Amino acid sequence: MNIEVATQQMSEKGFLDITLDARLDLFAEIEKLKKEKNAIVLAHFYQEPDIQDVADYIGDSLGLAQKAQSTNADMIVFAGVHFMAETAKILNPTKKVLLPDLRAGCSLADSAPADLFKAFKEKHKDHLVISYINCTAEIKALSDIICTSSNAEKIIDSLPKDQPIIFAPDKNLGGYLNKKTGRNMLLWNGACMVHEIFSLEKITKLKIRHPKAQLIAHPECEEAVLQIADYIGSTTQLLKYAVASDVQEFIVATETGILHQIQKDAPQKTFIPAPPNNNCACNDCPYMKLNTLEKLYLCMKYELPEILMEENLRLAAKKPMDRMLEISRAAGLIG
Ligand code: SF4
């Protein structure tokens, strides 16, 4: 398929569907395009290993947001999901922001439709809204402060104890934070399909078979899994903890993409993905895995699909993001 036809079909398919010559060295071609176009590739830890290997920066939502804001590159190629690329555009609007596949969405972001959330917020006018970064630009615009799993606790702690708070959209992370901070935040009923799927029963059996292994879990997991976890943290925190710890074996309850980086950083240790409660690979995020090296190359070459945003929405969504970055900086979480 040629570029004209692929562009016409892009809104339906979500990406440029062009067949590439199998002999093309995509790693070398992507490096060439980076130089030619002054482009930076930002990748989330949940991306496939090849994408992580060509990325200029690999991180979780907080690190990626900070990198997207500070980069001097003219083009940000975002290997992650739609709300993350939107976040890059919100923070750095003069840059061209590309996403290899527009269908790379997020079940958690989808669980908070803006109209329903607006109505909910109006019922609780005295509440301040803290939203997890995994939400659409529309939900960000309806929020007072954005947080990530790395900084959520510090952000909540920075508010007066008697301040009523709505936390959206992740009920599992919200519940965990309520416990950690001693608050009683009102929780929006959203969840991530990947982190909800872990089987307590199978993890418990795995722990019996690997008595020396520690269970490390992302706070988007259900409470029952968090209760038996040895360590709970954001993707970056899990990685740092596992690398620094004396323990040699870990059961990892988050998306499996993290295993690539964690195994690179601690090659002598054993990492076992926590099993989902069925036989499929449901702890792979199907949205994250829509991006491929081929799509990444094509989107850099043809500069499509691009993330565009109406300026009023961008400005409204930026305000709570700026507050997050300010509080994170004051707390020493970022430089
Ligand atoms: S892992 Fe969950 S929260 Fe992350 S992008 Fe996938 S669906 Fe969304």
**Are 135 and 265 within one domain?**
no
How many Cβ atoms are within 10 Å of 111's Cβ, its own excluded? 21
Domain contains 219? yes
Q: How far apart are CA 335 and CA 328, in angstroms?
A: 9
Domain contains 186? yes
Res 189: pLDDT? 96
CATH number of the domain enclosing 15: 3.40.50.10800
In tens, the pLDDT along 204-253 reads 999 999 999 999 999 999 999 999 999 999 999 999 999 999 999 999 99
Q: Has residue 282 got a pLDDT over 70?
A: no
Question: How far is ligand 1, taken at its centre, from the CA of residue 307, in Å?
Answer: 19
Question: How far is ligand 1, taken at its centre, from the CA of residue 318, in Å?
Answer: 21
* Total domain count, the chain: 3
Cβ 90 under 6 angstroms from ligand 1: no
In tens, the pLDDT along 158-198 reads 999 999 999 999 999 999 999 999 999 999 999 999 888 88
Strands (E), the chain: 39-44, 57-59, 75-79, 96-98, 128-132, 145-147, 165-168, 186-187, 214-217, 231-232, 249-253, 270-273
Cβ 194 under 6 angstroms from ligand 1: yes
Which is more confidently placed, 297 or 66? 297
**Are 220 and 181 within one domain?**
no
**Are 185 and 36 within one domain?**
no
What residues make up the domain containing 293? 3-105+287-304
Place of tokens 């099993």: 275
pTM here is 0.91
Domain contains 9? yes
**Are 67 and 157 within one domain?**
no
In tens, the pLDDT along 114-136 reads 999 999 999 999 999 999 999 99
